[in-house]
């Protein structure tokens, strides 16, 4: 499964990308606004650090505006993925942009039928928001299972399932069990995925025993 980082903060992106575990980045207007920086400067910085897909979202809500903005965003770098909302105009814009060879991420997906429409419209990625469904007492991961089942029924559907609105490590583990293509994970959750108290306890015990030997490995 691919790991995308869900942030526009370049410091976090650089740190996590240095691990070799980052396959891409997703941003949205809210995340970019938090940086307080110029939108296009943020995108250029991210694309200079990450070779994989970098999602950048349009602000327009009607077809023509989304297409104009999408074309401009795609000019920033070859790995830009244009994000459009899962509305009728968004689906039409997805079709137009995809036919022009521009990668599209259809976002704010909350139902299997929406995901199917996104795939039919030519989306490179569809982003189901599992955490927001959990927030309203629905099973977000059940949506991922349904989309995976539907997509697997039809070889012609090549759209990747990009699980979004990740709130905790269990969302990531369950998405991997289901067979989602990718997860976009906030930096804080990404870091927690590598943590376990038994790892910390074991390392502490090993280091304590090693210090008792009085030896060094690297030398003076």
SS3 labels along the chain: CEEEEECCCHHHHHHHHCCCCCCEEECCHHHHHHHCCCHHHHHHHHHHHCCCCEEEECCCCCHHHHHHHHHHHHCCCCCEEEEEECCHHHHHHHHHHHHCCCCEEEEEECCHHHHHHHHHCCCCEEEEEHHHHHHCCCCHHHHHHHHHHHHHCCCCCCCEEEEECCCCHHHHHHHHHHCCCEEEECHHHHHHCCCCHHHHHHHHHHHHHHHHHCCCCCCC
pLDDT at 200: 93
Kindly state the average pLDDT of the residues 50-79: 98
Q: Around Cβ 80, how many Cβ atoms within 10 Å? A: 21
Q: Which of 83, 92, 124, 212 is catalytic?
A: 83
Both tokens assigned to 26? 């997703």
Give the pLDDT band of residue 220 (cuts 50, 70, 90). low
> Is 83 a known active-site residue?
yes
pLDDT single digits (tens) 151-185: 999 999 999 999 999 999 999 999 999 999 999 99
pLDDT single digits (tens) 17-28: 999 999 999 999
pLDDT at 218: 84
pLDDT single digits (tens) 108-163: 999 999 999 999 999 999 999 999 999 999 999 999 999 999 999 999 999 999 99
Q: If you search the block for the tokens 């650090």, which residue do you land on? A: 49
4 and 28 Cβ atoms separated by less than 8 Å:
no
Q: Which of 3.40.50.300, 3.30.450.20, 3.40.50.720, 3.20.20.70 would CATH assign to domain 2-195?
A: 3.20.20.70
Measured between alpha carbons, how far is 106 from 59 in angstroms, rounded to an integer?
13
Domain residues of the chain, as ranges?
Answer: 2-195
Backbone angles phi, psi at 5, to 5 degrees: -100, 130
| pTM for the predicted model, two decimal places | 0.94
């Amino acid at each position: 499964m691919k790991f995308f980082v869900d942030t526009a903060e370049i410091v976090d992106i650089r740190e996590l990308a240095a691990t070799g575990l980052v396959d891409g980045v997703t941003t949205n207007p809210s995340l970019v606004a938090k940086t307080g920086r110029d939108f296009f400067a943020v995108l250029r910085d991210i694309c200079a650090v990450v070779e994989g897909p970098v999602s950048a979202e349009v602000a327009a809500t009607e077809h023509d505006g989304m297409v104009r903005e999408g074309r401009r965003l795609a000019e920033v770098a070859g790995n830009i993925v244009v994000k459009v909302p899962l509305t009728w105009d968004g689906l039409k814009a997805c079709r137009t942009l995809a036919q022009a060879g521009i990668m599209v991420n259809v976002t704010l997906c909350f139902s299997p039928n929406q995901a199917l429409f996104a795939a039919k419209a030519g989306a490179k990625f569809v982003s189901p928001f599992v955490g927001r469904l959990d927030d309203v007492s629905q099973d977000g991961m059940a949506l991922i299972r349904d989309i995976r089942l539907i997509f697997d029924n039809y070889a012609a559907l090549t759209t990747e399932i990009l699980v979004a609105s990740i709130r905790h490590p269990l969302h990531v583990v369950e998405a991997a069990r289901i067979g989602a293509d990718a997860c976009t994970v906030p930096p804080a959750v990404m870091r927690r995925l590598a943590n376990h108290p038994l790892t910390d306890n074991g390392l502490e015990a090993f280091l304590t025993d090693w210090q008792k030997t009085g030896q060094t490995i690297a030398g003076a």
